[in-house]
Chains A and B, each alone.
Chain A
Amino acid sequence: MEHALLPHLDAAHNLARWLLGSPHDAEDAVQDACLRALTFFDGFHGEDGRAWLLAIVRNTCYDWLRKKKRLVALDDVATPADCAPGPELQQLQAADRALVRQSIERLPAEYREVIVLREIEGMAYKQIARVIDAPIGTVMSRLARGRKRLVELLGAVK
């Protein structure tokens, strides 16, 4: 059991922190998720341990957000205009630590989680699909939209 979970606790904490925003909430959610994982360990058949644990962490986080009603529905978020001119490359390249963090934080959770799993955790589409329990096509379209938003957010400063 521990062998399946331990290598992925950093990844679990990273995802929880990006989804919940607070270090304390993230820590508690990971604890919660680990207990759930322990309970449902029968459901783990030795496949990708990281995707399996992250799926549980994600569900735990969403339960928390729902309880606190902090979940921003995708529909509430304005979709950027398709033909918006792209920001200058130099602006993207000049993005600093604070701006990058804030830009990711400002993404709707549905986009934020796939961006975190792909760009920070380095997961393949198939693994991300397993974590968010959605088809690969959904992973792809959310990544595309998330990236588009990020380009705008990162490029929106002088």
Chain B
Amino acid sequence: MTCNDLHPYFDDELDVAHAAEFEQHLNQCAECTAALERMRAVRVAIRQHAPYYRKPAARRSIPIWIGLAAAACLAAVFVLRPGAGSPLDDEVVTAHLRSLQASHLIDVASSDRHTVKPWFTGKLDFAPEVIQPSGFDLLGGRLDYLQGRPVAALVYQRRKHTINVFTWPGGADHAPQADSRQGFHILHWNRAGMHWWAISDASPDDLRALAGEIR
């Protein structure tokens, strides 16, 4: 186990055993520790600031099938993500980044929902639904703020990807809608009068699987 594993470790490409070995190496290698911190700072800078150049909506002279494809794509955008570009997307991304950056990911660290759920009592004006979905690790919960109100943030992990799930009361029921921002995937839905917003750098399929478990 050497400094060579730094990048695969940083990119979640090591299996659990090798990752643990590398973490031991990290304890003894100041160079790797410093490099890791710099890489994290670069990653955060890129995810916060680098533009994601989406396909422009208006196209110049287009072959017919691409025109049809673009129309279908536009329709898909409307069906799948009317929330695209909403300010709440930005708020959720910011909250997610903040939670990862400031080592303030978790207020109550527990993989037991019977510990996490009661922790919110007295801190929120609602009781969030906390589940332990199969295939995801519950890391704990945190109090966060979105749209100027306190919300419950549930923190899950899947293959080393951290997933923040925000929930708070309000809104009309709607099916999951996907979006992506700055390299993060977002899935939000509303059920039984509760907003649910999940965000992560895990794959959209992982988020959908999580939503399926929560619903």
Contacts and interface: CB of A to CB of B under 8 A. Distances in A.
Interface of A: 2, 5-6, 9-10, 12-14, 17-18, 23, 26-27, 30-31, 34-35, 38, 86-87, 89, 92-93, 95-97, 99-101, 104, 115, 118-122, 124-125, 140, 143-144, 147, 150-151, 154
Given A2-B69, A27-B60, 9 more contacts: A13-B54, A17-B53, A34-B66, A92-B45, A99-B49, A104-B46, A120-B183, A125-B11, A150-B46
A155 to B, nearest CB: 8
B38 A27 contact: no
A138 B51 CA distance: 26
4 A-B pairs with least C-beta separation: A92-B41, A17-B53, A100-B49, A13-B55
B73 A38 contact: no
Contact of B183 (A38, A92, A121): A121
Contact of B55 (A12, A87, A124): A12
Given A35-B63, A104-B46, A27 B69 contact: no
B122 interface: no
A99 B41 CA distance: 14
B23 interface: no
B215 interface: no
A102 to B, nearest CB: 11
B85 interface: no
B41 A143 contact: no
Contacts of A115: 46
Interface string B63-78: 1011011001100100
A9 B45 contact: no
Interface of B: 6-8, 11, 13, 34-35, 37-39, 41-56, 59-60, 62-63, 65-66, 68-69, 72-73, 76, 182-183, 185, 201, 203
Contacts of A118: 11
Given A9-B55, A18-B53, A95 B60 contact: no
A27 B187 CA distance: 28
Contacts of B53: 13-14, 17-18, 23, 26
Contact of A147 (B42, B60, B62, B183): B42
Nearest to A151: B38
Contacts of B7: 140, 143-144, 147
A122 B183 contact: yes
Contact of B8 (A95, A140, A150): A140
Contacts of A18: 53
Contacts of B13: 124-125
A120 B54 CA distance: 12
A9 B59 CA distance: 13
B66 A154 contact: no
Contacts of B43: 119
Given A92-B38, A93-B45, A119-B183, A27 B50 contact: no
A80 B54 CA distance: 32
